[in-house]
């Protein structure tokens, strides 16, 4: 297959482009065989991306908003509502909504997805067995990873933490926690690091998801990575409170994060919807310091988080939509220069075999967007796409 006259955004190029900006790409079987500058450099027919990578989702809770109701921006009300709803979760209902999420992501061009799974007690949740079955069924289409999502305070109970970490290890997952202004935060986080080190697990936190400047979980995590010489991947989602802190303090934390090799994930839809006032216009907004992180070589990922549940009652698994909101939310311009946020950066955070840079020999897992230039990237027409997986065009089934 030959794909002609396509822009390949700079952060996705794994080849020397010289001055060229428009390329012809030849596929051979399931690989990219060759990339050469197009004869005409002025007229592109579209934009070529590597298949998208979803760094942070919750496929156990999505599509429940009609039953639980939207919590209209109150994070802790949403947690409470989901808690009540969770008591009625069965393998059957979980499978239906988890599959729906995967089909949506697949059609949108997603090649890998990491979901958090609510895990509030020592015993593994019903969603884990469903996830493990789906991980097998979807192998070769979407590479699936999971993170246990446990309130940090649960780890104060040594036996509970041990049970969770042991089960996460058995099921090939990543250890996680919800961290927000907990009492004894450093000690409890230390326990999570102990467990990760004993069981050989990566870490993925929901951290500082609020507009309270006093929330400094991210800094504690970065300090622990360094103090422990922790070598496995550490992902930190949200980090909203960074935006509320003095620039000097926030920059110091980001310097610690960069030194510790932490991956930051921003969640535009849920962060904007959950953070900020609801009785007046919300100023300030929920956001993390994406530019200041990038200035330290720490390229944040953008991810979807909640879809149609108590936390965020709208949305879909189209990462290009999330990206478009991220561009507006954080002034990620020119937009083409930030497309690594849904491709290369999350691929690194998730430790995928392919980093998502397009080059001869890389997998022919690609998304061909209609956008012929930078300015069409975030509009609905420019987002129209052809998904190519293993060198074949994916037919739309919906
Ligand atoms: Zn989340």
Condensed to tens digits (0 to 9), the pLDDT of residues 93-148 reads: 999 999 999 999 999 999 999 999 999 999 999 999 999 999 999 999 999 999 99
Ligand 1 centroid to Cα of residue 370, in Å, is 30
- What is the full per-residue pLDDT of the chain (398 aa) written as tens digits? 999 999 999 999 999 999 999 999 999 999 999 999 999 999 999 999 999 999 999 999 999 999 998 887 788 888 888 888 998 899 999 999 999 999 999 999 999 999 999 999 999 999 999 999 999 999 999 999 999 999 999 999 999 999 999 999 999 999 999 999 999 999 999 999 999 999 999 999 999 999 999 999 999 999 999 999 999 999 999 999 999 999 999 999 999 999 999 999 999 999 999 888 889 999 889 899 999 999 999 999 999 999 999 999 999 999 999 999 999 999 999 999 999 999 999 999 999 999 999 999 999 999 999 999 989 999 999 999 999 999 999 987 54
Confirm if 38 and 77 have CB atoms less than 8 A apart: no
Ligand 1 centroid to Cα of residue 207, in Å, is 10
Give the integer Cα–Cα distance in Å for 137 and 99: 10
Which pTM value belongs to this model?
A: 0.97
Q: What are the residues whose beta carbon lies below 5 Å from ligand 1 (ion)? A: 305
pLDDT computed for residue 73 by the predictor: 78
The residue annotated as part of the active site, out of 54, 143, 167, 209, is 209
Ligand 1 centroid to Cα of residue 283, in Å, is 22
233: left (phi over 0), alpha (psi -120 to 50) or beta: beta
Confirm if 196 and 175 have CB atoms less than 8 A apart: yes
Buried b (16+ CB within 10 A) or exposed e, 386-398: bbbbebeebeeee
Ligand 1 centroid to Cα of residue 58, in Å, is 6
Confirm if 115 and 147 have CB atoms less than 8 A apart: yes
pLDDT computed for residue 103 by the predictor: 97
Ligand 1 centroid to Cα of residue 169, in Å, is 21
Dihedral over Cα of 113, 50, 15, 300: its sign: negative
Name every residue whose Cβ is closer than 8 Å to that of residue 229 and which is 6 or more positions away in sequence: none
Dihedral over Cα of 227, 228, 232, 235: its sign: negative
What does the pLDDT look like over 380-398, one tens digit per residue?
A: 999 999 999 999 999 875 4
pLDDT computed for residue 395 by the predictor: 85
CATH code at 52-331: 3.20.20.140
Confirm if 335 and 301 have CB atoms less than 8 A apart: no
Distances (CA, A) of 241 to 66, 167, 215: 30, 32, 6
| 3-state secondary structure at position 325 | helix
Ligand 1 centroid to Cα of residue 395, in Å, is 30
Ligand 1 centroid to Cα of residue 268, in Å, is 11
Query: Is 209 a residue of the active site?
Result: yes
Q: Quick one: CATH architecture of 2-50+357-393?
A: Roll (2.30)
Q: Residue ranges of the domains in the chain?
A: 2-50+357-393, 52-331
Alpha helices in 69-216 (DSSP H): 75-86, 91-108, 126-137, 158-170, 185-199
Ligand 1 centroid to Cα of residue 389, in Å, is 28
Q: Where are the beta strands (DSSP E) in 272-346?
A: 301-302
Longest dimension (CA), the chain: 65
pLDDT computed for residue 397 by the predictor: 58
Ligand 1 centroid to Cα of residue 235, in Å, is 12
Give the integer Cα–Cα distance in Å for 30 and 192: 40
Ligand 1 centroid to Cα of residue 3, in Å, is 37
pLDDT computed for residue 163 by the predictor: 98
Ligand 1 centroid to Cα of residue 224, in Å, is 22
114: left (phi over 0), alpha (psi -120 to 50) or beta: beta
- Residue 23 token pair: 């390329």
């Amino acid at each position: 297959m030959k794909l002609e006259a396509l822009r390949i955004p700079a952060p996705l190029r794994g080849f020397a482009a010289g001055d060229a900006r428009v390329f012809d790409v030849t596929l051979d079987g399931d690989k990219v065989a060759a990339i050469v500058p197009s004869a005409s450099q002025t007229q592109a027919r579209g934009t070529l991306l590597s298949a998208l990578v979803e760094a942070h989702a919750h496929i156990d809770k999505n599509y429940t908003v009609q039953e639980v109701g939207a919590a209209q921006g109150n994070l802790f009300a949403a947690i409470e509502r989901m808690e009540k709803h969770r008591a009625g979760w069965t393998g059957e209902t979980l499978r239906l909504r988890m599959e729906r999420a995967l089909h949506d992501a697949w059609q949108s061009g997603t090649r890998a997805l990491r979901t958090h799974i609510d895990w509030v007690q020592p015993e593994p949740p019903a969603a884990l067995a469903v996830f493990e079955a789906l991980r097998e069924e979807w192998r070769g289409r979407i590479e699936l990873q999971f993170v246990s999502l446990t309130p940090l305070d649960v780890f104060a109970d040594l036996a509970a933490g041990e049970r969770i970490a042991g089960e996460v290890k058995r099921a090939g997952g990543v250890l996680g926690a919800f961290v927000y202004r907990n009492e004894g935060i450093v000690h409890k986080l230390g326990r999570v690091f102990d467990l990760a080190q004993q069981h050989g697990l990566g870490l993925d936190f929901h951290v500082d998801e609020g507009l309270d400047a006093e929330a400094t979980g991210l800094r504690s995590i970065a300090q622990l990575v360094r103090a422990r010489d922790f070598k496995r991947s550490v992902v930190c989602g949200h980090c909203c409170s960074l935006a509320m802190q003095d620039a000097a303090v926030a920059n110091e934390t980001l310097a610690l994060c960069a030194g510790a090799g932490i991956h930051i994930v921003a969640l535009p839809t849920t962060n904007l919807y959950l953070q900020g006032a609801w009785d007046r216009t919300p100023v300030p907004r929920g956001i993390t310091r994406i530019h200041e992180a990038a200035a330290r070589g720490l390229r944040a990922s953008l991810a979807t988080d909640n879809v149609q549940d108590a936390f965020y009652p709208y949305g879909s698994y189209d990462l290009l939509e999330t990206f478009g909101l991220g561009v507006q939310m954080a002034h990620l311009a020119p937009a083409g220069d930030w497309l690594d946020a849904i491709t290369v950066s999350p691929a690194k955070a998730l430790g995928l075999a392919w980093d998502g840079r397009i080059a001869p020999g890389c997998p022919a897992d690609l998304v061909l967007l209609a956008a012929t230039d930078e300015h069409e990237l975030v509009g609905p027409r420019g987002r129209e796409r052809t998904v190519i997986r293993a060198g074949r065009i994916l037919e739309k089934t919906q």
